[in-house]
Amino acid sequence: MNTVNIHEAKTHLSRLVEKAANGEPFIIAKAGKPLVKVTALNASETAPMRRLGFLAGEFSIPDDFDRMGEDEIVRLFEGEE
């Protein structure tokens, strides 16, 4: 991976960004110390997307789910014990 100092990055920013967009990431350093890594947004180094619905069919929800504990909830709201 190519490392460039800040001055070079400012001078050749357009060229460096174009290279990064084409899959050639680079590092910007200050006084030889790496500061940032520039990569394309669609680079494969991003975390994989989480898959929705991966637990489909693994458990079931009762038909009366929205009424479960209804009597107890009413009793608690009304202050009865």
pLDDT band at 37 (very low <50, low <70, confident <90, very high): very high
Indicate the helix (H) or strand (E) that contains 20.
Answer: helix 13-21
pTM of full prediction above 0.85: no
Residue 81 — pLDDT band, cuts 50, 70, 90? Answer: low
Say which CATH number the domain at 7 has: 3.40.1620.10
The 33-38 sheet, strands edge to edge = 2-5, 26-30, 33-38
Q: Do residues 37 and 59 touch, judged by C-beta distance below 8 A?
A: no
In this structure, is residue 16 part of a structural domain?
A: yes
In a domain, 79, yes or no: no
Output the pLDDT for position 47: 67
Domain that holds residue 33: 2-38
Domain count, the chain: 1
Q: Which pLDDT does position 6 carry in this prediction?
A: 94
pLDDT tens for each residue of 55-66:
888 888 888 888
